[in-house]
Chains A and B, each alone.
Chain A
Amino acid sequence: MIRDITIGQYYPSNSIIHRLDPRVKLMGTLTYVLSLFLFRGLAGFAAVTAGLAAVVKLSKVPFRYMVKGLKAIAAILAITVMFNLFLTPGEPLVSVWKLKITEEGLKSAGFMAVRLSYLILGSSVLTLATTPNQLTDGMEKSLRPFRRIGVPVHEVSMIMSIALRFIPILIEETDKIMKAQLARGADFESGNLIKRAKAMVPLLVPLFISAFRRANDLAMAMEARCYNGGEGRTKMKPLKYKGRDGVAYLLIAGYFAGIIMLRVWM
C-alpha cells in the first residue's frame, strides 16, 4: 500500500541518461532549474518543454511513472495557481464578488504551474536515473572545493547516503508494522483528526524503536570495520569522466546559452 511512493526512487534501466556521470546529471539538473526561472514567453516555454521531453525520452523511464510523483505536490500546485490567478492586479477579465481574474493573473498562474511541475519532473529524472550511491558520490566530488573553508563534505554526503539508503527500509518497516496492527484490528482510516492521530501511536512507537535499533546496529557495524571518516579513504568505483559526459556538458551549456539568448532578444 505504502510502497507506491515514487518520489526519490530509482528506476532501473540502461539508458544513456542512466550511464552518465552523476556530476553531469547534477549540473544538468541545476542548469535546468535555473532555466525554468529564466525563460520568458512562448518561445522560452517551447525550449524548456523540448529540453525536458528530450531528456525524459532518453532516460527510458515511462512518463506515466514520472507523473505519479506530481501527485505529491498537487496541493501546493493548486494553492499557488489560485493565488496567482486571483491576486494579480491588472485588467479584470471576469469578476465574481470580490474575486477577479485578470489577464496578467491568468498568464502568471499558467507559467507558475508549468514551472513547478517541470521543476518536479526535471529533478525526478535525476533521482529516477541515478542510484542513491552515485548521487552522493557525485555530490561529494562536486562539493570537494568547499572542504578548504571547513565544510565537512565527506561527512555530509555520508549522512545523506545513509538517509537515502534507509528510506526504502523504513517504508517497508512501516508497511509491516501497519499490517501487523491492522491484523490486530487497528483502524488508521476512520474517525476525526484526534482519533486518527491517536491511532498512529501503535505505528510510530514500534517504528521509532526499530529505527533506533537499526541506527545502533549500523554504527556498530561501521566501527567494527574501522570507519573513521573521510581522511585517506579511497573508493571502490571512483568517478571518471567519459567521452559522453563531455558531450553532455556541451549540450547543457548550449541549452543554457539558448535560453539566455531567448530572454535577451525576445
Chain B
Amino acid sequence: MSMILDKVNYIYSAQTAYEKQALKNINLKIADGEFIGLIGHTGSGKSTLIQHLNGLLKATSGGIYYNGRDIYEEDYSLKELRGKVGLVFQYPEHQLFESTVFADVCFGPKNLGLPRKETELRAFAALRSVGLSEEYWYQPPFEMSGGQKRRAAIAGVLAMKPDMLILDEPTAGLDPKGRDEILGQVAAMHRELSITVLLVSHSMEDVADYVGRIIVMDQGSILMDGAPKEIFQRYQELEEVGLAAPQVTYLMHGLRENGIPVDTGATTVEEARESILQAFTKAGKLRQ
C-alpha cells in the first residue's frame, strides 16, 4: 500500500511563449503511515507535485501508481482516488461556500455518495478532530476568524476519511499560536488515525518538530530526500537554494566549533537541550 511516482515530468502551457517545465524526472515512493515534509523555495514545484498525487494535474510523461494501480489507466476512478488522497490547498478557507460550517464539511463525503447518516457522522468526527469548538458548527463560515475558517476547511477534507492527507502550507498567514495549534493537530491525527501525511512548507522550522522524512525540492527536481538529521547536516547546500536549516542546527554547529561536544544532529529544541545539558554535565564531571 503506497504511492509511487516513476519519472514524472510536467510542463505548463506546453508549446506557447509561457512554456515552463515545472517537474523534472521525479521519482518518489511514499509508504503508508509516513509523516513527510516537502520543502522548497517558492516556485520549486512543490504545489505542482502534490496536484499530481490526486490526479488534478496529469503528468506530461511518466507514471503514478497508487496501491499498485496506475492512476492514468482508462477505468481508474479519479474521484475515488481523491477520496483516498485528501488535498488541502493553500488558503483553503477560500473554498468555503455553504451556509453553515457543518454543511460545508458534509460536501466532501456527500460527493463520495455516502448515505446521509454516515456523512454527518464523519462531519462531526472531522470537526472535532480539527478542534473547532461546537458553537461555530452551525454558523455561516464567512464570519469566523481566519484560523477558524482554516480549521473548517481542513475538516472538509478530513471528513472524506483519506488514507493520505496532503497539506499545502497549512500555516501560511497564521500567527505563531495558530500555527502551533494546527501543526499539533495534524501530528495528533497522524498518530491517532494512522494516516500518511505530507506537509508542504517553505520553512524548516515548521516541519522539523514533527516529520520523519524530509524531501527538498529545487527547480522542479528532488534535491534531497532523507531523515531530518541527514538533511540538516547539509545546511550549507540548503542555503544555496534559498532555504535554511532550523536555528537549532546553527546553534549546535556553533557550539561544536567552539569546542563544546554537543550532538550536531539534534533537530528539535528538546533534543538540543538534552544534548547541551549532557555535554555540560560531562565537562563538569571531568573537572571534578
| Partner-B contacts on A (CB < 8 A) | 3-4, 11-13, 65, 176-177, 179-187, 201-202, 205-206, 209-210
How many A-B contacts if CB must be within 8 Å?
61
B223 to chain A, nearest CB (A): 26
Residues B107 and A202 in contact, CB atoms below 8 Å apart: yes
Does any Cβ of A come within 8 Å of B251's Cβ? no
B82 surroundings in chain A (CB, below 8 A) = 182-185
Indicate the size class of the contact surface on chain B.
Answer: 20 to 34
A selection of 12 A-B contacts at a CB cut-off of 8 Å is: A11-B17, A177-B95, A179-B56, A180-B89, A181-B107, A182-B82, A183-B82, A183-B86, A183-B87, A183-B157, A184-B107, A185-B111
A69 to chain B, nearest CB (A): 13
A185 surroundings in chain B (CB, below 8 A) = 79, 82-83, 107-108, 111-112, 160
Q: A65-B16, A185-B112 are in contact. Are A180 and B95 (CB under 8 A)?
A: yes
The prevalent SS among residues of A at the interface is helix
Q: How far is the CA of A183 from the CA of B112 in the complex (A)?
A: 11
Q: Mark B128-150, 1 if CB is under 8 A from A, else 0.
A: 00000000000000100000000
Does any Cβ of A come within 8 Å of B228's Cβ? no
Residues A183 and B54 in contact, CB atoms below 8 Å apart: yes
Does any Cβ of A come within 8 Å of B152's Cβ? no
Given contacts A183-B87, A184-B95, A185-B112, 10 further A-B contacts (CB under 8 A): A11-B17, A180-B95, A183-B54, A183-B56, A183-B157, A184-B156, A186-B107, A202-B107, A206-B97, A209-B142
Residues A187 and B111 in contact, CB atoms below 8 Å apart: yes
Closest A residue to B112 by CB, please name it.
Answer: A185
Does any Cβ of A come within 8 Å of B258's Cβ? no
Contacts of B95-131 to chain A: CB distance below 8 A: 95-97, 107-108, 111-112
Does any Cβ of A come within 8 Å of B94's Cβ? yes
Does any Cβ of A come within 8 Å of B288's Cβ? no
B46 to chain A, nearest CB (A): 15
Does any Cβ of A come within 8 Å of B275's Cβ? no
